[in-house]
Chain A
Amino acid sequence: AQSVTQLGSHVSVSEGALVLLRCNYSSSVPPYLFWYVQYPNQGLQLLLKYTSAATLVKGINGFEAEFKKSETSFHLTKPSAHMSDAAEYFCAVMNDYKLSFGAGTTVTVRA
């Protein structure tokens, strides 16, 4: 089964700074990749997904991710962090109809 690995369980950034969350996948075929965000005590909200239509995927709230086959990566970025970006972020890959999630990265934003 395909899997994803998120590097870094915690990321701390200053407000206005770049947010970079790393995700690597293991797959021998083109994967279906997703990024979800989870705010405290809430469910998961889809940020964006890779559908093979374009390698640079734009999502909600100013986030984007780039699919790099050569690096088997799908890192999530946002040019300028906002306080409201403080949350936990999950990278996931679809195996048939099951989502397999990474361990998650908690983002804190410093004023």
Chain B
Amino acid sequence: NAGVMQNPRHLVRRRGQEARLRCSPMKGHSHVYWYRQLPEEGLKFMVYLQKENIIDESGMPKERFSAEFPKEGPSILRIQQVVRGDSAAYFCASSTRAGGFETQYFGPGTRLLVL
């Protein structure tokens, strides 16, 4: 059973460009989460999605960031007009159910560098 897949693994963008990060959950998992690991700030929750629904985006910056998990295809985290402060590692996780002691399985991450 393949794990959570993320691509690209590394992404370099210039200020003002768009970044698209993709995440394919583990087979059978319908719950997807995005976390961001900023230098000196640690890992923080961004958004929780189920198929075609955003359940909780309380950790997402209000502007420039959006996420989706369509009926078909991977989940996408989109960052418009990137700034240097967006440079971070972005991790996707998935699970079969949400909450409690349900394990979230993490992908290898996408490391975004904004020049």
Contacts and interface: CB of A to CB of B under 8 A. Distances in A.
Nearest to B59: A98
Contacts of B106: 36, 43-45
B45 interface: yes
Interface SS of chain B: helix, strand, loop or mixed?
Answer: strand
Contact of A94 (B6, B42, B99, B109): B99
Nearest to B46: A98
B91 A97 contact: no
Interface stretch (A10-18, A46-54, A68-76): A46-54
Given A42-B108, A44-B106, A50 B101 contact: yes
A93 to B, nearest CB: 11
Interface stretch (A20-28, A79-87, A100-108): A100-108
A44 B91 CA distance: 9
Interface SS of chain A: helix, strand, loop or mixed?
Answer: strand
B35 to A, nearest CB: 7
Contacts of A36: 106
A49 B109 CA distance: 22
Contacts of A51: 101
A34 B103 CA distance: 9
A90 interface: yes
A49 B111 CA distance: 27
A100 B45 contact: yes
A98 B101 contact: no
A63 interface: no
A106 B105 CA distance: 21
Nearest to A33: B101
B63 to A, nearest CB: 21
Interface string B85-99: 000000101000011
Interface of B: 4, 6, 31, 33, 35, 42-45, 48, 55-56, 59, 91, 93, 98-109, 111
8 contacts: A43-B108, A44-B106, A46-B103, A49-B103, A50-B101, A97-B55, A98-B33, A103-B42
